[in-house]
Structure 1
Amino acid sequence: MSAVPETGDWTDRMLELTVGAVAHGGHCVARAHDDRLPAPEQGSGRVVFVRHALPGERVRAVVTEDPGGAFCRADTVAVLEASPDRVQPPCPWAGPGGCGGCDFQHASPAAQRGLKTAVLREQLDRLAGAAAPRSAVGFDAVEVEELPGGPLGWRTRVRLAVDDVGVPGLRAHRSHDVCEIADCPLVPGGALEPVLARRFRPGSEVDVTVGDDGAARVDAGGTARAAGRAWELSPGTFWQVHPELAGTLAGVVRDWAQAPLGGVAWDLYGGVGVLGSVLAGQVGPDGTVLVVESSPSAVTDGRTALADLSQVRFVQARAEREIARLEPAPDVVVTDPPRAGLGGAAVRALAARRPRRVVHVACDPAALARDLALFADNGYRVAALRAFDAFPMTHHLEAVAVLERDG
């Protein structure tokens, strides 16, 4: 995209915009023209990434950030022509200048899934389009699926930021500023209020877990349930924030991994071994499951939870550093990397070990699409792909692809 002629800093400028398509990151794309310049051609003008808007709307938006060049960022402050998908946000802190945790509270739940589906398809088409002809699934047929529990009250884990006087809250969008809130509708009703009334060390962060009893606990472990087991978690051990996601992913792995009886399966970035426990059931007591995880607390908790499965072995290490030297070599691999995904080096190293099947979990559509293209370059085809709305009201989603080796 070519640079726009210098017209000064647009920060705080009010723009009237016709909103275009949704884009990855929780905003939509519009174009604005500086009236001090000659009239632009159709479809030209400066790109504006505008939040709190929906495709097709006419809005007034104030520029919040102008890094110079071809684009700027803006927040909608008035809706002149509303989309039929627009609803009243359930949270009073979710609007411009407020909490940055939610992107789509102004859209109906069905419309939110539609927006995420559009982003996922666009990323797959743009970044993994070359892999599509060799895939058994059409990328344009993928839909972001709803998880049980509804759009509110689903979040059982939340990290609060603490401001410089000890007040906990949530951060503003693209900012370290702490937004003081009285509650969060994504958390089970009323659970967060007692925590928000407390004061903490200024500048710190507070991890809050909501238990089955509906009570919020600060910097504590707890019991989680998935894959037919109870998992006792130490403070700080990772667990999915949506209570249905771990079990959903376990079910997908159970359906897709097809690890052979007596075979070898790897669970890379395996956490406490939820997906590894599913693989253990497939390879049986004479098989081998290697769970590779860098977090000491997750490894400790996983070893305790899966002590009855002698075929499971935990390796405390960074998975990408172990791929080339892990033994025995795998029949099947499950990967669940951080948001950045696997990347070229890890995909190449994994392909060199020649598993016949890889079940790849991703929480970022751009990283997913890039990794699928990398797998295609290294001899793997996409056999199936599903996506889940594991983070309602936000732009985030969770996706799972199964890749099979050609030949």
Structure 2
Amino acid sequence: MTARTSTTPAATPEAGGHSGEEAVLDVGPVAHGGHCVARHEGRVIFVRHAIPGEKVRVRLTDAEDNAKFWRADVIEVLEASPDRVEHFWRPADSGRAWQQGRPPVGGAEFGHIALPRQRSLKADVLAEQLRRLAGVELSPAVEPVGAGTGDGGAAPDGGTGLGWRTRASFSVTPGGKLGMHAHRSGHIVPVREMPLATDAINALQLWNLDLQGIERVEVAAPANGSRPLVLLAPAPGTKAKRLAAVAAQLPGDVSVASFDPVTEDVTQLRGRTWVQESAAGHDYRVTGAGFWQIHRDAPDTLVGAVTDFLHGGGFLHAGAVVADLYAGAGLFTAVLADAVGETGSVLSVEGAPGTSRDARKNLHAAPQVEIIQGRVERVLRQKPRDFDALILDPPRAGAGKAVVGQLVAAHPRAIAYVSCDPASFARDVGYFRQSGWDLAGLRAFDLYPHTHHLETVALLAPRP
């Protein structure tokens, strides 16, 4: 249940050079990664917590003399954009955080921007990446997700962009309190709420637990209301008795397990080591930290977009030969199996052993499905075949040139490409275009409000 928007600390800010110094900047365009671009004395500075067109005072957080660019956080807004709003979460508010002598927590870096402008900035990033990396001139709108998600509409979150995360990842302070990392930092900020998470996650009140002996906490609360799961990553040397003591602090209807973040091995402490998710008319078992979309409406939204593209083009039908690559627990595989029927065939490929086992359990009643655990490039070499259609949902790094070449060599009539990163997606679209394919359709979804992330679903097809 590892969330795609989680970040592992890459560096401790203010390590040297000019870090900690202040500057006044005129903020330029948005850039991929949640920053805006500014210049100071001829040097590029990537600024977080700003909006294009503003004048701001910043604190340099990563500013070595020999660096190609510097990084900075806004500490004061001198000339505000009309799209600036009060941040909904004080620990993530850059100005307030630095007034208290600490960096803001990560994970809500667009919380100071009105939702319509957030989506327009994400659209700008997507268009720029497609133009620069793929040579495609296209400016798709980024669509809100969920019924009535017009701002202020009748969405589950009331149009606020809050309460959508069914999964969350937390760190633990040295004193054993729930916390979150600052961006690119080893600094852990204690938290007492997670406004982007669903009520079911916040109701667990994990911040009240004594988490001594724990390094990380993962929590999943399925949107269908089924039993939540809390995963505890113990610090080296933590005894079983300490893990049991942490588990005992949680409500009895919550499953608790320990897990190794490196191997993803899961050990039962209480209840189940998995959660039951529901989407597109199917139930799915997802064990431990296995991947599942984190927005409550994401699975149905993405399934709908993919099947609309494939059905609309006549690529998905009874008897078709199709594949679901980077298949996870089988979200798309189950839908493909329904569409092709018992006269068709579905190849489902997933690299993570635990997640692949989940897929086998989830698809055990579909004889037309062949599930293989392994790297996509290896499986495609070992099982060459011609496909009517493929679904491609790779991790953030994308598919890459070698896999794109293999996909083209498999001669599918179409590929539905689901991506959570506009840069790797645009790069791969460029590889497809070099191989004689074109972008035949594209939709973008705001599955991560108040962050810089977005999800795209594309239809790729060979040129006539």
Structure 2 length-normalised TM: 0.79
2:355 is the alignment partner of 1:298: yes
State the secondary structure of the residue aligned to 2:394: coil
Equivalent of residue 441 in structure 2, options 379, 384, 392: 384
Q: Does 1:191 align with 2:190?
A: no
Quote how far apart the aligned CAs of 1:215 are. 7.6
Q: Structure 1, residues 67-125: CA drift from partner, whole Å, max 9, x if none?
A: 33342111111111100000001101112312111110000111111111111111111
Structure 1 position 203, deviation (Å)? 5.9
Identity of aligned residues (%): 41
Match of 1:92 in 2: 90
Letter in 1 for 2:73: D
> In structure 2, which of residues 51, 69, 73 is the aligned counterpart of residue 54 of structure 1?
51
Partner of 1:175: 185
2:374 corresponds to: 317
Aligned CA-pair RMSD: 1.8
The offset of 1:161, in angstroms, is: 1.4
**1:2-401 equivalence runs, <5 A:** 9-33=17-41, 45-67=42-64, 68-96=66-94, 97-129=103-135, 132=136, 139-140=138-139, 142-148=140-146, 149-150=156-157, 151-189=161-199, 191-192=201-202, 194-200=205-211, 202=213, 204-211=215-222, 212-213=224-225, 217-219=229-231, 220-257=273-310, 258-401=315-458
Aligned length: 381
User: Normalization by structure 1: what TM-score?
Assistant: 0.89
Higher mean displacement: 264-273 or 162-171: 162-171
CA offsets 1:343-379 (integer angstroms, 9 cap, x no match): 1111111111111111111111000100000001112
**CA deviations over 1:215-269 (Å, ceiling 9, x no partner):** 8531252221111112122222211100111111111121122224212101000
In structure 2, the CA distance between the partners of 1:322 and 1:215, relative to structure 1 (3 Å rule), is closer
Moved over 3 A (4+): 211-217
Q: Please say if residues 157 and 208 of structure 1, whose CA atoms lie closer than 8 Å, have aligned partners that are also in contact.
A: yes
One-letter code aligned to 1:103: E
Q: What amino acid is aligned across from residue 29 of structure 1 in structure 2?
A: V
Between stretches 171-180 and 22-31, larger displacement belongs to: 171-180
Evaluate the alpha carbon distance shift between residue 346 and residue 394 of structure 1 in structure 2; reply closer, same or farther with a 3 A threshold. same
SS at match of 1:59: strand
Structure 1 residue runs without a partner (length 5+): 1-7, 34-44, 133-137
* Cα distance in 1, alignment partners of residues 143 and 461 from structure 2: 23
**Distance in 1 of aligned mates of 2:212 and 2:359:** 31
* 8 Å contact kept, 2:324–2:332: yes
- Measured in 2, the distance between the counterparts of 1:378 and 1:200 equals 52
> Whole-Å Cα distance in 1 between the matches of residues 419 and 60 of structure 2?
32
Partner of 1:41: none
